[in-house]
Amino acid sequence: MFNRLIAGIILLSTAGYIFGQTSESAPHRHKPQYNPYSPTVHDPVLAKDGDTYYLYCTGIGIDGFSSTDLKKWKRLGPCLPSLPQWISEALPGAKNHLWAPDIIYHDGVWHLYYACSAFGKNTSVIGHATSPTLDPSSTDYKWTDRGMVIQSVPNRDDWNAIDANIIIDETGTPWMDFGSFWNGMKLVKLTPDMSAVAKPEEWYSIASRPGTTGKNDGAIEAPFIYKHGDWYYLFVSWDYCCRGRDSNYKVAVGRSKNVQGPYVDKNGKDMADGGGSVLVEGDGEKWAGVGHCAAYTIDGNDIFVSHAYDKKTGRSQLLVRPITWSDDGWPQVKL
């Protein structure tokens, strides 16, 4: 049943491009109409509250969408319509364009994490907001900003405070993995309410990518840790997003029996030393690049969610695919 649902998503996504575009140059002439079957998104994450799926992604105040079938998506508007004051103080001149959210339900509350930054800089912060429900029609619906979790400062930190992901380990302890370029992906333990770094601070380097110029150009970002069976799987994105048809984004993976790592690839190489096995990448036909993924088990189905750059239009589109598993326990995703 789930595979038929995903097949329907793929068909509807393709139809959206066929009927939504009159020529390859159309995107350059005018802003395209919103297509509910093929929304343009960056850095999507997924949750299910009741019978409804909710999608959150990079945008003004973090864009929200809802769907009852993972096919047709309704825009909900921003979670945080106004830029939190603490961001204005931490990053003077910042706009309310918030990046790369993560969403998780814990202790009866939904927790939303997001970043504010400037492209190509590690002048960045990760923030946190909570709501008792994801349903905007509920009288209980309200995102309350909880402030800063961490901040990266140029010339002080060799990491970048964006692309947060939260994982709760088998003991119930919350951890945050994050990072983009610089010295790679980091992991840190959070307080029980998931609002701050736990004391004493323990920082782990879980993945990196060798640079070519020595100027923080090791192209790796968007870590996401997913527990399946006895293993923690670490997904990261390699190479470059945001270049339209020329994007060469791809997803690599490693695994560990411990949330702190080490995460090793299929050849046994530690991801902290540049290891990683490619899980999915552009096919050179429909998709130019695939990346910034998330993975979930929802209603017994293992789901891969990411954005992907359409080879024809250059737009970043939502990609939802089933995860299957090899005999030796590695995830598999087909475009």
> 47 with 105: CB under 8 angstroms?
yes
- pLDDT, residue 16, reads 41
Q: Per residue, what are the HEC states of 3-26?
A: HHHHHHHHHHHHHHHHHHCCCCCH
Catalytic residue, from 43, 63, 102, 239: name it.
43
Only one residue has tokens 């088990």, namely: 297
Q: What is the mean pLDDT of residues 255-273?
A: 98
Catalytic residue, from 102, 163, 177, 221: name it.
221
**How far lies 188's CA from each of 115, 176, 216, 238, 261, in Å?**
16, 5, 21, 22, 12
Query: Does the annotation mark 221 as catalytic?
Result: yes
160 — pLDDT class (breaks 50, 70, 90):
very high
Residue type, 299: D
* Maximum alpha-carbon separation in the chain: 58
> 257 with 230: CB under 8 angstroms?
yes
- pLDDT, residue 218, reads 72
> 295 with 197: CB under 8 angstroms?
no
- pLDDT, residue 225, reads 99
SS3 198: coil
pLDDT digits (tens, 9 = 90+) for 18-48: 333 333 333 343 455 688 888 899 999 999 9
pLDDT digits (tens, 9 = 90+) for 77-133: 999 999 999 999 999 989 999 999 999 999 999 999 999 997 778 889 999 999 999
- pLDDT, residue 21, reads 35
183 — pLDDT class (breaks 50, 70, 90):
confident
330 — pLDDT class (breaks 50, 70, 90):
very high
Q: What b-and-e string marks burial along 171-182, b requiring 16 or more CB atoms within 10 Å of the CB?
A: eeebbbbbbbbb
Highest mean pLDDT among 4-8, 106-110, 116-120, 217-221: 106-110
Residue 6 has pLDDT above 80, yes or no: no
- pLDDT, residue 32, reads 55
User: Which of these ranges, 151-155, 253-257, 326-330, has the smallest mean pLDDT?
Assistant: 151-155
Query: Cα(184)–Cα(59) distance, rounded to whole angstroms?
Result: 24
User: Which of these ranges, 18-32, 247-261, 272-286, 302-316, has the smallest mean pLDDT?
Assistant: 18-32
Residue 159 has pLDDT above 80, yes or no: yes
Query: Does the annotation mark 310 as catalytic?
Result: no
Half-sphere exposure of 166 (CA within 13 A, CB side): 28
The helix (H) or strand (E) run that includes residue 234 is strand 231-238
Higher pLDDT residue, 295 or 155? 295
CATH of domain 2-21+34-332: 2.115.10.20
Would you kindly state where each structural domain of the chain is located, as residue ranges?
2-21+34-332
Q: What are phi and psi of 90, to 5 degrees?
A: -80, -35
Peptide bond preceding 262 in cis form (omega within 30 of 0): yes
- pLDDT, residue 150, reads 97
pLDDT digits (tens, 9 = 90+) for 298-316: 999 999 999 999 999 999 9
User: Which of these ranges, 10-14, 170-174, 276-280, has the smallest mean pLDDT?
Assistant: 10-14
Query: Nearest Cα to 312, choosing from 287, 331, 289?
Result: 287
